[in-house]
Amino acid sequence: MESPHFTMSAQMALNAHLHLIKVMPKKLSLMIASLGPIEIPHRYGDDPRDGLVGVVIGQQVSAQAARAIRERVFTSFASREALYAAAQRGQLDAHGLSKAKQKTIQFISLLSDIKFSQWQNLAYPQRLTEMTQVPGIGPWTVAMWSMFVCQDPDCWSDGDLILRTRMDGLAQEAQINRQQMLRQAEPYRTYLALYLWTFKDQLPRESTTP
């Protein structure tokens, strides 16, 4: 018997799938229809603190490099307590992290569990405002944490190069305002992002021709 969590996740994916087929430009709509519903993966795990650290590690590096560094960081210590104690002592130099990222992880390690619960319970715009007040955490980081840890169905990141360029390309091709497209995708912008990442090599980029 399927768990309630799986049922809710699958139903949300189906709802998003049907909605996006209706509102997206024809080319993307057909591609979404061909793929079927896709669920939001727990890409950074379920623990909100570990997940935020994982997203921070992935900032501005390739996906492959980020995975390698995350694995190195999280497997080099006997426990999460040991990892965060080392972060607070500034002892992560040997793990491929920049000084800026080490400082951000140090700050994250000092946050209370209550703070993470508060962030998770906020609507995305409020979460974005509050979390970007933390040193080293920008809009991209909040978006990825919201999507893949909080499982928020309606997030978007213009700071992600693939999402921005593919969205701009689709808008130009369909002669539609990109902000209108994003509004039409609500309340399933996270799922739109998942489809755009999946189809990134088959979608137009923004034209650079004058």
Residues 164 and 121 in one domain: no
Q: What is the pTM of this model?
A: 0.88
Q: Is residue 110 part of a domain?
A: yes
Are 116 and 198 contained in the same domain? no
The DSSP line for 85-133 is: HHHHTT--GGGT--HHHHHHHHHHHHS-HHHHHHHHTS-HHHHHHHHTT
Among 112, 138, 164, identify where a domain stops: 138
Considering the domain architecture, whether residues 95 and 122 belong to the same structural domain is answered as: yes
User: What whole-number distance in Å separates Cα of residue 38 and Cα of residue 43?
Assistant: 14
pLDDT tens profile 167-198:
999 999 989 999 999 999 999 999 999 999 99
Expressed as residue numbers, the domain containing 191 is 153-205
Q: How far is 91 from 45, CA to CA, in rounded Å?
A: 24
Q: Evaluate whether residue 74 is within a structural domain.
A: yes
Structure tokens at 30: 């057909």
Q: Are residues 86 and 128 in the same domain?
A: yes
Q: Considering the domain boundaries, does residue 12 fall inside one?
A: no
Q: Residues for the chain: how many in total?
A: 210
Which pLDDT tens digit goes with each residue over 63-76?
788 788 888 888 88
pLDDT at 208 over 70: no
Q: Which two tokens stand for residue 188?
A: 């399933």
